[in-house]
Amino acid sequence: MYTIIQNADWIITMDEKRTRWKHSDVVIEGKEIKEIGKNLAGKYPDAKVIDGKGKLVLPGFVNVHHHTWQSLVRNINVANGLKLEPWLKVVYEIFKEINTDVARAGAYAGLGELLQTGCTTSNDLFYAHPVGVEKLIDAEIEAAAEMGIRFHPNRGVHSKASNIVPPELVGSTEVVMADAERLIRKYHDTSRFSMCRVGIAPNMPQYETLEILEESKKLAEKYDVLIHGHLAESVYETKYTLDTFGCTPARWFEKHGLLGDRFYYAHVVHLEDDEIELMKETNTGVAHCPISNMFLNSGVCRIPDLMKAGVRVGLGVDGAASSNSSNMLQEIRSAYLVNRLTWGDNAVSAEDILYLATVGGAQVLHRDDIGYLAPQMAADITIMDWDQLQYAGGQNDPVDCIVLSGESKLVDKVFVNGELVVDGGRLTKVDEQQKARFVNDVGKAMLRRASTHLEGLEKDIED
């Protein structure tokens, strides 16, 4: 069965030449793209036709950093207005109350919003595992499959208590590695167009035990999976690493074999000039998270320098507790604006930002089957409706419209592996209102439990 998106105003392929097709068609066959070109309807007389007039067609976005459960920990005054480390101390008190319902609810909220803002593939780094609570990642994998999004979950690691991480969230090396191996064996799918690939995530490596870092690398090598985490996010982290180990975070990672093709890290804000080249030489991936970095006053990732050096870079919404949404279009627009503000004439272009959100993200996740539109690529397609009053007068460059003016109302339809998962801006595979009630009930219950040991939270959640 074929589906044809016919006579789209623009098809923005984001292929190697960044080809754009005007008034053209895309043909979908099963999970993949069959053909792109003009006047194709006659070749597929039995195809289901989607009218592309007034529409922009582009690859589904790829989100390379998230903490979905944090969708239940946002818009609370007790955590707002803080820098990273004080903020972490607050939210970790709440994370003590995580259970499988929280994991499932967070995935519904976070991944659902991603789909509705044009994202078809998402990472998740689930690092908060209260001792004795099992199968948190199973719950979010099940929720992702239910909604129809392509998913890259990571089994997070906390191996040592600190002034930030409470002992209630610290797991033994044996327990963590056994669970990570179980998840890989059960869910990790290496096939083309795979809908789930599992990774390992020492959350903040220089705060972990060397034992668990070594075991994480061994397990990743055994099953050929990726390793994800955070690197050089804040000034405090840089100072801590210099004071404790006598080197910068990037050099500490290098010393301990934590850079390379298998690795990708969120933020990577505080790099020295020579460390840009280090990221390129080791082929280490980067997840740029501009809204979170602004919210927590962490700084701005050196995107122009990283892209010029040829580093693999994608875009991430980060956890909703530090970005207050999982909105990929907001992240794209913010990425462009903060780069303009910070780097001025050296800032990257709107099309470069769209590249980060598509091809760049696919490269970070080691995917060669998503990220751009071409025959034999996955039919991960977002259709945007710019034939609306708010875009009238701005229907000029389509990429500029998406990056500079885009917001969730722009998204009309989303396909993942050829399946329509968003139609008319609404999720097709789940009852949104039922899921919203579930998320609200679970979130409020978690915050009430946390309010018994987190001063000030009770006022935030008063009925």
Handedness of CA 137, 141, 147, 152 (dihedral sign): positive
Q: For the residues of 139-187, what is the DSSP string, one character each?
A: HHHHHHHHHT-EEEEEEEE--S--SSS-GGG---HHHHHHHHHHHHHHH
SS3 196: strand
Using CA atoms, how far apart are residues 31 and 47, in angstroms rounded to an integer?
15
Handedness of CA 216, 164, 113, 312 (dihedral sign): negative
| Domain boundaries defined on the chain | 2-59+372-427, 61-364
Pull the structure tokens for residue 363: 């490269």
Q: What is the pLDDT along the chain (463 residues), one digit of tens a residue?
A: 899 999 999 999 999 999 999 999 999 999 999 999 999 999 999 999 999 999 999 999 999 999 999 999 988 888 888 888 888 899 999 999 999 999 999 999 999 999 999 999 999 999 999 999 999 999 999 999 999 999 999 999 899 998 889 999 999 999 999 999 999 999 999 999 999 999 999 988 888 999 999 999 999 999 999 999 999 999 999 999 999 999 999 999 999 999 999 999 999 999 999 999 999 999 999 999 999 999 999 999 999 999 999 999 999 999 887 888 999 999 999 999 999 999 999 999 999 999 999 999 999 999 999 999 999 999 999 999 999 999 999 999 999 999 999 888 999 999 999 999 999 999 999 999 999 999 999 999 999 999 999 988 988 777 6
SS3 55: strand
Gyration radius of the chain's alpha carbons: 21
SS3 419: strand
Q: CA neighbours within 13 Å on the CB side: how many for 287?
A: 30
Using CA atoms, how far apart are residues 60 and 362, in angstroms rounded to an integer?
10
Using CA atoms, how far apart are residues 333 and 407, in angstroms rounded to an integer?
9
Using CA atoms, how far apart are residues 457 and 447, in angstroms rounded to an integer?
8
Instruction: Determine the straight-line distance between the first and last CA of the chain, rounded to whole angstroms.
Output: 51
Q: Quick check: 361 and 121 in contact, CB under 8 A?
A: yes
Tokens 């903490």 locate to 67
What's the per-residue H, E or C state across 223-273?
HCCCEEEEECCCHHHHHHHHHHHCCCHHHHHHHCCCCCCCEEEEECCCCCH
Using CA atoms, how far apart are residues 101 and 104, in angstroms rounded to an integer?
5
pTM of the model: 0.97
CATH topology of domain 2-59+372-427: Urease, subunit C; domain 1 (2.30.40)
Domains 2-59+372-427 and 61-364 share a fold: no
Q: Which CATH number fits domain 61-364: 3.40.50.2000, 3.30.70.3270, 3.20.20.140, 3.40.50.720?
A: 3.20.20.140
- Cα separations (Å) of 307 from 81, 249, 360? 31, 20, 10
